[in-house]
Amino acid sequence: MAWGRSQNLSTFVLLGFPGPRGLQTWLFLLFLVAYVLTVAGNLAIISLVGAHRRLQTPMYFFLCNLSFLEIWFTTACVPKALATFASHSGAISLAGCAAQMYFVFSLGCTEYFLLAAMAYDRYLAICLPLRYGSTMTPGLSARLALGSWLCGFSAITVPAALIARLSFCRSHVINHFFCDIAPWIVLSCSDTRGVELAAFGIAFCVILGSCFVTLLSYAYIVATIIRIPSARGRHRAFSTCSSHLTVVLIWYGSTIFLHVRTSVESSLDLTKAVTVLNTVVTPVLNPFIYTLRNKDVREALRRSVQRK
């Protein structure tokens, strides 16, 4: 595929976070530590679930999918940002920029669908406990996870195809630390209204659609928990979904601001800063949230440490 009829520009430069060398060094260390913790933490969760039969349930099957996704999501953008901080060049080819954009947004869309599937799983477990085992079978869990991945990677194909037809003949500097759609298409000398509308439509459908499923599931969950007579029972029911709810609030809070908007040229610097939250901070927080707030995972981790 010829990405953009852009004979004039074959290489772009990621601006990153301009500043003195000391700032670049601190940013490099911050991103590096966050990346190492993200990969190590999510690999630890996958290993724990695989090693302990008690954790091999639909809830932790979805958690493994989420951890696997977080590893690749942060890998799609952070290593290039580290290279930019270290080399101060930020050069990236047109094909490389297109590939990075596609994978970052495909994995991001997949996360929305996975979080919605996890919310549905918690709805069945809390609201319909007697039917949970017969409804959330391994087959259904696998289909929901596979559907999340397929839908996530399919959703971004339309904006990607439209971007492939753009011509880039303006400045070659992208005001971001990775190839985000918004700061990239403002460099085009073609009409970008179709790309903007497609990106907005996809963001609207994916984000708000999955958010609706998640909110509806938690509305039923909260209503069910309120009707539980004992405080201990309410606490136990809520503890099974509190980790997932925390991740949902962090993820949706940042991404709704980033993607559900109509103008791509406004507040690019603010957008770049907020993007750090869901590309760097959220992936590194997820393993700690699920470990510290989940009794089963803490117990499995304790047993693994004692065994070693």
Q: Which pLDDT band holds residue 267 (cuts at 50, 70, 90)?
A: low
Judge whether 258 lies within some domain.
Answer: yes
The answer to whether residue 178 is domain-embedded is yes
The distance between the two most distant Cα atoms of the chain, rounded to a whole number of Å, is 69
87 domain residue, yes or no = yes
- Burial class of residue 74 (count of CB atoms within 10 Å of its CB; 0-12, 13-18, 19+): buried
pLDDT band at 246 (very low <50, low <70, confident <90, very high): confident
Q: pLDDT, tens digit, for every residue of 35-50?
A: 999 999 999 889 888 8
Q: Alpha-carbon dihedral of residues 287, 288, 292, 293, nearest 10 degrees?
A: -60
Report whether 96 contacts 190 (CB < 8 A): no
Cα angle: 290, vertex 294, 298; to 5 degrees: 95
CATH of the domain at 290: 1.20.1070.10
The pLDDT value given to residue 106: 94
Q: What radius of gyration do the chain's Cα atoms show? A: 21
Segments forming the whole domain that contains residue 287: 11-307
Top-confidence residue, 226 or 295:
226
Among 2-16, 19-33, 181-195, 207-221, the range scoring the smallest mean pLDDT is 2-16
Q: How many structural domains comprise the chain? A: 1
**Which helix (H) or strand (E) element contains residue 103?**
helix 94-127
In the chain, the amino acid numbered 280 is: V
Task: Spell 172-201 as b/e; 16+ CB within 10 A means b.
Answer: bebbbbbbbbbbbbbbbebebeebbebbbe
pLDDT tens profile 74-131: 999 999 999 988 887 788 888 888 899 999 999 999 999 999 999 999 999 999 988 9
Does the residue 194 lie in any domain? yes
